[in-house]
Amino acid sequence: MVKTLKDFYSCKNSCLRTNLTILFFFKNKQLFIFIQAKFLSQTQINEFKECFSLYDKKRKGKIEAKDLITVMRSLGTSPTFGEVDRHLQVHKIDKMGELDFSTFLTIMHRQMQQEDPKTEILEALRMTDKQKKGYILASELRTKLTGLGEKLTDKEVDELFKEANVGRDGLVHYEEFTRMVTLPPVDY
């Protein structure tokens, strides 16, 4: 935490050496400093800030940790509860605590770096296809989706299969399935 001018200059010099940008502004006679990594575009930061602000219920520049997964998912990432817990642990934030926008930016960047849903889904389905035929049984995929990790309900699996045009032959051609389930949502 930057509390003195000396701390600020020390932080500034450190940031310049590590390819970070410092954003600072005054609000209610307090100096707010955000250390922003240069790997996020200004457009992304603006979008993240807008969404973050919607969940900043107390208007103190912070969101509750329990809202983190919702905010992240509304911005297009797909963190699991376990991933969110790890992000909070890294930043030493209690599940009932709060996080500021600077921390949120760091978490979003890390999540975006590790996510490539198309590759993740394809890789998981390929590992299931022992004979490397390019497809797996729909019943086998249903068992995995309802029994492992972030479990889906049978109704959710039915909807997913319907959206992805899983054939009547009971086979899931995983290249096509992955393409269908990772299409960007239609923007109305």
- pLDDT tens digits along 128-141: 888 889 888 889 88
At 27, is the pLDDT very low, low, confident or very high (cuts 50, 70, 90)? low
User: Which tokens in the block code for residue 143?
Assistant: 């068992």
* Nearest-angstrom CA–CA distance, 177 and 157: 13
Q: What was the pLDDT predicted at 28?
A: 53
What is the model's pTM?
A: 0.50
* Interior/surface letters 23-52, b for 16+ CB within 10 angstroms, e for the rest: eeeeeeeeeebbbbeeebeeeebeebeebb
Q: Which residues contact 184 (CB under 8 A, 6 or more apart)?
A: none
* Nearest-angstrom CA–CA distance, 33 and 145: 43
Q: What was the pLDDT predicted at 5?
A: 46
Domain limits, CATH 1.10.238.10, in the chain: 5-114, 117-181
Using the predicted structure, report yes or no on whether residue 42 has a pLDDT greater than 90: no
Which is more confident, 55 or 12?
Answer: 55
Closest CA to 102 of 91, 115, 86: 91
CATH class entry, domain 5-114: mainly alpha
At 69, is the pLDDT very low, low, confident or very high (cuts 50, 70, 90)? very high
Using the predicted structure, report yes or no on whether residue 89 has a pLDDT greater than 50: yes
At 184, is the pLDDT very low, low, confident or very high (cuts 50, 70, 90)? low
CATH class entry, domain 117-181: mainly alpha
Q: What is the mean pLDDT of residues 161-167?
A: 80
The DSSP output letter for 188 is -
* Nearest-angstrom CA–CA distance, 54 and 101: 12
In the chain, pLDDT over 90 holds for what percent of residues?
31
Using the predicted structure, report yes or no on whether residue 151 has a pLDDT greater than 50: yes
At 30, is the pLDDT very low, low, confident or very high (cuts 50, 70, 90)? low
Q: For residue 36, what is the enclosing H or E element? A: strand 30-37
Q: What was the pLDDT predicted at 107?
A: 92
Q: Which residues contact 45 (CB under 8 A, 6 or more apart)?
A: 36, 105
